């Protein structure tokens, strides 16, 4: 198991592209100023001792040095001791719609981003329940099996997007079937599916799939992402370039509350609108929290070894190298003409 002891320092990596951008601007400005005073040929003669490549080598070394320092500050850790602990909870499978219609912006910042926010808030309030993730569009697959590692769950949710599944559509029924198959065989533990979708189902009979799940004691809660009025589907976020049909008309995608409600009723659950304030959506979580918990054994890492020393040593090594990189060519190395005659 790998983790960062101080993950907040990872935000410092935002400085890397800024440094590269400033370096490029500096080189462009420097070259412009030099060309004001003389011709390119004269400039090449005057600066014959200056290396064309060392400034870039120094930039790369400096970025690697900065990256090593950031990683050292972030304190990477590797789990070194596993213990069996007793937990009590239920099993929850999240089914997330990643079809193109989820890019519609009738919910801000988009239906898909709003769905991710809701899932993250759910995870923040869970304690020891097992969670898994199924993503679906025209097809569906298991993105993450059941786990109590909520950090991993959040990572999987954050990386879920419309590119994960090439087949477009909304196969809600298949997503429910995969969730059913992903639960444990323990019939004494409560099992729940939380489905987040706009409900534009074109692939299968989602209500029948929900009834089958209910017959197995699985409850299904649905959150409708989108509005009844609907919205166009942007081909690229933040643009006015929208998906059009074969006649050139802009396609409007609308959330289907009737289907989402029918699925929840068939699954003995609850339906809520994703456009509602979180206190309303939280009713789903309250219903889930009211289910009886069952104790189970879980293996967790209880001790971690710090590995920041390795990156600190790399930083020191790179700092020493950086001290000996100058823009001017080395008198010795300049005599070695590796590319002479080319």
Complete domains list, the chain, with CATH? 2-79+305-335 (no CATH), 91-292 (3.40.50.410)
Angle, helices 54-74/308-323, rounded to nearest 10 degrees: 160
pTM for the whole thing? 0.66
Residue 62 Cα to chain centre, angstroms: 28
User: What's the token pair of residue 254?
Assistant: 């609308």
Strand 218-224 vs strand 91-97: parallel, antiparallel, or unpaired? unpaired
Q: How far apart are CA 98 and CA 198, in angstroms?
A: 10
- The tens-digit pLDDT sequence of the chain (342 residues) is 677 888 888 899 999 999 999 989 988 887 777 667 665 555 555 555 556 677 888 889 999 999 999 999 998 888 666 666 666 789 999 999 999 999 999 999 999 999 999 999 999 988 889 999 999 998 999 999 999 889 889 999 999 999 888 788 888 999 999 999 999 998 889 999 999 999 886 667 899 999 999 999 999 999 999 999 999 999 876 667 888 888 888 989 999 999 999 999 999 999 999 887 777 788 888 888 888 777 666 556 556 678 889 999 999 999 988 887 765 555 544 454 444 444
pLDDT attached to residue 43 = 53
pLDDT attached to residue 339 = 41
Question: Can you list the positions of beta strands (E) in the chain?
Answer: 2-4, 76-89, 91-97, 130-136, 140-147, 191-197, 218-224, 231-232, 252-253, 271-273, 294-306
Q: Which of 336, 340, 100 is closest to 236 using CA atoms?
A: 100
Q: In what order do the strands lie in the sheet with 218-224?
A: 140-147, 130-136, 91-97, 191-197, 218-224, 271-273
User: What's the token pair of residue 311?
Assistant: 């990156």
Residue 231 Cα to chain centre, angstroms: 25
User: What's the token pair of residue 53?
Assistant: 């490549």
Q: How far apart are CA 80 and CA 90, in angstroms?
A: 28
């Amino acid at each position: 198991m790998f983790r960062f002891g101080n993950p907040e320092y990872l935000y410092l990596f935002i400085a890397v592209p800024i440094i590269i951008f400033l370096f490029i601007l500096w080189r462009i400005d420097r070259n412009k100023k030099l060309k004001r005073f003389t011709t390119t040929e004269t400039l090449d003669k005057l600066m014959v001792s200056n290396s064309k490549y060392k400034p870039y080598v120094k930039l790369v070394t400096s970025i690697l040095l900065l990256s090593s320092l950031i990683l050292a500050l972030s304190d990477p850790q590797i789990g070194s001791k596993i213990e069996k602990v007793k937990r009590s909870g239920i099993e929850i499978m999240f089914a997330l719609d990643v079809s193109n219609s989820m890019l519609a912006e009738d919910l801000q910042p988009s239906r898909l981003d709003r769905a991710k926010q809701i899932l993250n808030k759910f995870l923040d309030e869970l304690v020891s329940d097992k969670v898994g993730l199924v993503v679906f569009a025209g097809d569906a697959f298991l993105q993450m099996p059941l786990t109590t590692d909520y950090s991993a769950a959040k990572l999987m949710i954050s990386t879920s997007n419309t590119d994960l599944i090439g087949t477009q559509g909304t196969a809600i029924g298949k997503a429910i079937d995969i969730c059913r198959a992903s639960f444990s065989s323990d019939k004494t533990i409560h099992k729940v599916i939380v489905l987040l979708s706009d409900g534009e189902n074109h692939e299968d009979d989602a209500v029948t799939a929900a009834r089958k799940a209910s017959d197995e004691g699985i409850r299904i809660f649905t959150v409708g992402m989108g509005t009844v009025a609907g919205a166009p589907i942007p081909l690229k976020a933040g643009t006015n370039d929208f998906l059009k049909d074969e006649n050139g008309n802009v396609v409007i995608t609308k959330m289907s509350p009737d289907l989402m409600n029918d699925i929840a009723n068939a699954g003995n659950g609850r339906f809520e609108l994703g456009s509602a304030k979180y206190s309303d959506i939280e009713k789903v979580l309250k219903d889930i929290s009211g289910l009886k918990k069952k104790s189970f054994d879980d293996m967790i890492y209880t001790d971690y070894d710090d590995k920041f020393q390795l990156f600190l040593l790399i930083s020191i090594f790179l700092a020493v190298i950086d001290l000996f990189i100058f823009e001017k060519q080395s008198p010795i190395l300049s005599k070695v003409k590796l590319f002479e005659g080319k």
